Each structure stands twice: as C-alpha cells, then as structure tokens.
C-alpha cells in the first residue's frame, strides 16, 4: 500500500484541475441558469416524471456531528434545518432535466441535503463498496494479490479485478452482510455475479461515503486512508463527475457507467469527496435514462455543480 511519489500526485491534480476548468466552461451556462432559477422560489419544484422527488425521508435522517440531538427541541430544530436545506437544493436542481438523485453532506458539521429517493443500479461505483466490504472482513489486512486487484478495480475500474474481489467477499450475500454493518439500508447486491446491477439510492451512497471518509465508521483509520488514496488516483480519463464541483484539486471519487441492454440508455453515477469554499463535502449523484454516455456525464456534472453551489450558499 505504498503511496505513489508526491510528484505523481501533484501532476495528476494539476491535470485534473485543467480538465475541470474546461468542463466548467461547457456546463457553466446550464449551472448558472439553474442557480438563477432557484432564486425565484419553491414554485419551481414541480412533479415531473423524469426527475426525482425531494427526499424528505433522507432529511429526517440527518444528524448532528456527534450522532444525535441533545433533546426533543434540538431534534426538531435539526429536522427543520434539514428540510430547509432540502428545499433549497430542490429549488436548484429541480430545474434540471433528467432522472437523477443527489446528496451533499458536510461531515464536519453534519449538515446534509438530498434530492430524489429512487433506486438506481450502481454500475462501477459499487467497486468502492466491494473494497470496503473486503477491508471490513479482513480487519484491513489484504494480501499482495488483493492489493493489486484493488488498485486496478478503483484506479482503472477494471472489471476482472472487481469480479475477483466480489467473489472474495462472498458475492452478493457477503456484500449485503457488509452493507448491513455499514448502515446501507436500501442497497441490494446484484446476484449471479452481476455486481454492477447492485441497486442503491443516493442516500445509501452518502452513507457509504461517511464510512470511507469519517471516523463514524466500522472501518479502521488505515482502511479508510487506503480507500481514499485509491479514489484519489483514478485514471485520467475517468476523472469526471463530482469533480466538476471541486475547487481544491484533491478530489477522491469513483464513477460508474453502463449501457442497459434492454433500452440502450445509459446509467451514469459519481460519488466522492470534493473541496468547495474551504470545506470537504461528500457528494453522490446517481442517474439513468441518458441517451449517451456523454449526455449522462454532462447531466451528472451539472447536477453535482448545481447541488454543491446551492448547499454552500445555504448549508443549513
């Protein structure tokens, strides 16, 4: 698990920042329009068959940094704050077209906001879950061959390596058991070896990110650091998605993309940690129904940028 030379990390971060700048120019118009429309008020939040609904259930699950409210009054205040943050997020992303769900969390304060509670298939973002499950089962100790497979699976999104490690955790049953420990209540592992067809929600992916990036986790510090390191070294051509919202140049992420055989439409997902306004934020964006991979990426990046801007403007 030796870290790569600092020069390699610095070079990759510089390249990523340049790519994010170019991507930002492409989506700036859509983001600006969405943010301006959000200022017009909650009347923009309408019921549409192609977009998610505000995740009020997720809002009620938001907790303080220490894991709970001190009393009933504090709990009510917290719930109201979460609802306000959700409403602001809904006003911002509700103007965007597409079927998606998004969560933004500030692990330092415990504040969070969410839009959409539909289930989506994971595609390759489940690879973070698979590695987390393997680390959980083995108390953070992996063999050299497992470490090699883990690097390929996260950095290159290698499917053969993912199958090897999915089998190592016990397949669907093993992943489901680990997810019960992680607190993922709406995630069901894909069966018959089809790990990419695992079903999940944006709220569950937000919880998985907490498992990876916060101390409130069944994983030990070394395991979390290992996962975060690999997520910071994804291949250059896969450094898109939630990174569109990053300002700090030290993104940790994993993306997933999949064309459905039945429809030819694309599933495109992105999860990770970004830096915005001097804060580290956990962001999950799930989507499906895009006509092409490129359209799905553009949607995910627009959603991520809009959601993070809204959250930063009014974090709750």
* CATH code of the domain in which 281 resides: 3.40.710.10
More confident of the two residues 71 and 267? 267
The whole-model pTM stands at: 0.78
Strands 112-115 and 120-121: unpaired
**190 part of a folded domain:** yes
Q: Cα 282 to the chain's mean position, in Å?
A: 7
Q: Is the pLDDT of residue 21 over 70?
A: no
Confidence of residue 217 (pLDDT cuts 50, 70, 90): very high
Average pLDDT of the residues in 42-54:
34
Average pLDDT of the residues in 189-203:
98
Assign 270 to helix, strand or coil.
strand
Structural domain that includes position 65: 6-313
**Taking the CA atoms of the chain, what radius of gyration do you get in angstroms?**
18
Identify whether the C-beta of residue 43 lies closer than 8 Å to the C-beta of residue 70. Answer: no
More confident of the two residues 17 and 160? 160
Query: What are 238-288's pLDDT values in tens digits?
Result: 999 999 999 998 999 999 999 999 999 999 999 999 999 999 999 999 999
Residue with tokens 């939040």: 45
Confidence of residue 23 (pLDDT cuts 50, 70, 90): low
Contacts of residues 170-176 at CB distance under 8 Å and 24 or more positions apart, as own/partner, are 170/137, 174/133, 174/137, 175/126, 175/129, 175/130, 175/133
Q: Cα 150 to the chain's mean position, in Å?
A: 19
**1 part of a folded domain:** no
**159 part of a folded domain:** yes
**219 part of a folded domain:** yes
Nearest in space to 94 (alpha carbons), one of 307, 249, 284:
307
Give the separation between CA 107 and CA 271, rounded to whole angstroms.
15
The beta-strand segments (E) located in 173-217 are 199-200
Polymer length in residues for the chain: 316
Q: What mean pLDDT is reported for the chain? A: 82
Q: DSSP code of 101?
A: E
Average pLDDT of the residues in 129-154:
98
Q: What percent of the chain has pLDDT over 90?
A: 71
Strands 120-121 and 199-200: antiparallel
Number of domains making up the chain? 1
Identify whether the C-beta of residue 101 lies closer than 8 Å to the C-beta of residue 116. Answer: yes
**158 part of a folded domain:** yes
**205 part of a folded domain:** yes
Confidence of residue 14 (pLDDT cuts 50, 70, 90): low
């Amino acid at each position: 698990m030796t870290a790569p030379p600092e020069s390699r990390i610095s070079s990759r971060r510089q390249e990523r920042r340049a790519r994010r700048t170019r991507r930002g120019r492409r989506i700036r118009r859509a983001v600006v329009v969405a943010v301006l429309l959000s200022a017009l008020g909650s009347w923009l939040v309408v019921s549409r068959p192609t977009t998610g609904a505000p995740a009020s259930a997720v809002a009620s699950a938001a907790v303080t940094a220490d894991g709970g409210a001190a009393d009933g009054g504090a709990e009510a205040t917290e719930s109201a704050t979460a609802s306000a943050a959700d409403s602001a997020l809904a006003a911002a992303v509700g103007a965007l077209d597409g079927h998606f769900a998004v969560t933004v969390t500030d692990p330092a304060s415990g504040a969070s906001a969410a839009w959409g509670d539909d289930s989506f298939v994971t595609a390759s973002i489940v690879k973070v879950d698979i590695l987390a499950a393997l680390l959980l089962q083995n108390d953070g100790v992996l063999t050299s061959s497992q470490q090699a497979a883990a690097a390929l699976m996260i950095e290159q999104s290698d499917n053969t390596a993912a199958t090897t490690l999915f089998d190592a955790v016990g397949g669907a049953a093993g992943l489901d058991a680990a997810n019960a420990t992680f607190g993922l209540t709406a995630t069901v592992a894909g069966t018959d070896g089809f790990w990419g067809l695992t079903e999940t929600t944006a709220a569950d992916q937000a919880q998985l990110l907490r498992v990876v990036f916060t101390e409130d986790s069944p994983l030990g510090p070394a395991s979390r650091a290992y996962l975060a390191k690999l997520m910071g070294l994804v291949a250059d051509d896969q450094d898109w998605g939630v990174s569109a919202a990053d300002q700090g140049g030290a993104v940790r992420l994993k993306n997933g993309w999949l064309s459905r055989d039945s429809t030819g439409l694309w599933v495109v997902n992105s999860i990770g940690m970004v830096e915005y306004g001097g804060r580290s934020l956990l962001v999950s964006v799930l989507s499906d129904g895009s006509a092409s991979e490129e359209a799905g990426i553009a949607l995910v990046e627009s959603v991520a940028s809009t959601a993070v801007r809204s959250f930063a403007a009014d974090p709750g």
